[in-house]
Chain A
Amino acid sequence: MSRYIYKTMALAEMEARKLRHDPTELITRVVQPVLWLLVFGEVLSKLRAIPTGSLTYLEFLTPGILAQSVLFIAIFYGISVIWERDLGIVHKFLASPTPRSALVFGKALSAGIRGLSQAAIIYVLAVLLGVQVRWNPLAILAVLVFVVLGAAIFSTLSLVIACLVRTRERFMGIGQLLTMPLFFASNALYPIELMPSWLQGISMGNPLTYLVDALRTLMLPGYAAEFPLILDFGAMLLVLLVLAAIGAKLYPRLAR
């Protein structure tokens, strides 16, 4: 078991090292959340069109945009998996005595590391925009755990898709197709109660909803949670384990 975790961490560490060598991606990743919060958030706050209880819309939106950035980063992770297959890196991983699921979790954790950078960006933006967030260290730590878990889910989903479609062109199409429905059929931009009932049903099965709910609970003092945190965590963990099991089955096919 300790060897299993050791190897998973070894793969994730390489991702952190890549980011250190070339942090430009971190900088370009700042742009989207800034636009969403600064433009979309500010305008809709003025409008007061979306009822968000005791919170301002900008406050309500901030954790939603963190969840969205995590989704957007992780959902295209399959591209790098296909890239590593086009090179021979996947082949070499698979010819090593590493459990397949450890390779999949290693990739998932790598995406989690990228997700962490988004959390840092959102906290900085929150300060700049005067959004009142909880600064309790335990709450922040829990936010980071949920961010990593969320990134792990969507990157593993992405890996599963990559294993099925196998080429970058097809993957790009499907990635685009998937991102917006996942985003809009969640509570990232508006409360679930505003949705028509069919969409409410879908959003209950969307892991992004649980991520957003957990992040709001942890970040915003005045937020009335949809679900208890433990349920958010349990639902997400379950989704991750199912996806990872499928991923571990499919990943070796990439090298055939």
Chain B
Amino acid sequence: MDILKTHDLTRKFGDLTAVDHMNISLRQGEFFGLLGPNGAGKTTAIKMLITLLPPTSGTATVAGHDIVTAQRDVRRHIGYVPQLLSADGQLTGYENLLVFARLFDVPRGEIRQRVEDALDFMGLKGAGDTLVRKYSGGMIRRLEIAQSMLHRPQLLFLDEPTLGLDPIARRTVWEHLARLRKDFNATILMTTHYMDEADKLCDRLAIMHLGSVVAMGTPAELKAGIGNENATLDEVFTHYSGGTLEEAQGGYRETRMTRRTAGRLR
């Protein structure tokens, strides 16, 4: 059974169709990338799948539960790392984990162990009692991923997990995501607009452009699809979207958002 399946999932904001008849499915244990520039509809798609935003039309099931009629069941089975900075800087790493362990119904007797394991797993063992506002951007991201994994979700949603990170911090996050997947057999849906990231991490990709999925497959298939096995994913994107990434990067609002998020991480 597919752990996530969408059927013509659509969201409109007034005249703008942010997500247009999206049909994707994820298998257990898969690392799936939703690729596209800012404004392509990736975040809107994720918000619908994690029950924060009702679809205008279409349906989806997550872990077998409908995202509209069984929201509480969906929420129980997912983890979510937003694009925006979402750890609380006024609390320690340990406390940030503690509160989410409680909100996600981790059994009381196991909370302490899970939190400590999560810190250890994400390479934050010595930093548990430090206030998060003293963390580096990469540490915050790893803490946020740890927060999303405490209740052992069947499916993890990561929205631009390396946005605003320097190359070294990005690589560390990648390594931890790869380990997470290997050790917990986690199914991960990640959005990104970094081609190298998608190429390195994802089993399969869907390329989004202006709300629509324009191509889907393994990175190798997508490259073969344009008749050039040595193509970079940039070239793949350009081929399917009919424009360059540069042109599609979004306007002032997206740029401001990206910069601001990146700034907060520092």
Contacts and interface: CB of A to CB of B under 8 A. Distances in A.
A163 B92 CA distance: 27
B88 A88 contact: no
A92 interface: yes
Contacts of A97: 72, 75-76, 103-105
B95 A87 contact: no
B84 interface: yes
Nearest to B13: A256
B74 to A, nearest CB: 9
Nearest to A256: B53
B90 A95 contact: no
Nearest to A92: B86
B52 A14 contact: no
A12 B32 CA distance: 37
Interface in A57-87: 86-87
A17 B52 contact: no
A88 B103 contact: no
Given A14-B91, A87-B264, A252-B52, A3 B105 contact: yes
B102 interface: yes
B88 A14 contact: yes
A190 to B, nearest CB: 39
Secondary structure of the B contact surface, majority rule: mixed
A98 B84 contact: no
Interface in B100-131: 100, 102-105, 131
Nearest to B76: A97
B47 interface: yes
A87 B85 contact: yes
A255 B52 contact: yes
A22 B105 CA distance: 28
B53 A18 contact: no
Interface string B196-215: 00000000000000000000
A92 B131 contact: no
A255 B102 contact: no
Given A18-B91, A92-B147, A256-B52, A87 B105 contact: no
Contact of B104 (A22, A96, A252, A256): A96
Nearest to B82: A88
B224 interface: no
B93 to A, nearest CB: 12
Given A6-B102, A256-B53, A95 B86 contact: no
Contacts of B83: 88
Contacts of B23: none
A92 B100 contact: yes
B105 A95 contact: no
A163 to B, nearest CB: 14
Contacts of A256: 47, 52-53
Interface string A5-24: 01100110110011001100
B34 interface: no
Contacts of B95: 14, 17
A184 interface: no
B52 A94 contact: yes
Contacts of A204: none
Given A94-B52, A95-B51, A256-B47, A21 B102 contact: no
Given A94-B51, A97-B105, 17 more contacts: A10-B99, A11-B99, A13-B99, A14-B91, A17-B95, A18-B90, A87-B85, A88-B85, A91-B84, A91-B86, A92-B82, A92-B86, A95-B52, A95-B80, A97-B104, A255-B47, A255-B53
11 contacts: A10-B99, A17-B91, A17-B95, A87-B85, A88-B83, A89-B86, A95-B50, A96-B104, A97-B105, A98-B103, A256-B47
Interface of A: 3, 6-7, 10-11, 13-14, 17-18, 21-22, 86-89, 91-98, 252, 255-256
Interface of B: 47, 50-53, 72, 75-76, 78, 80, 82-86, 88, 90-92, 95, 98-100, 102-105, 131, 147-148, 264
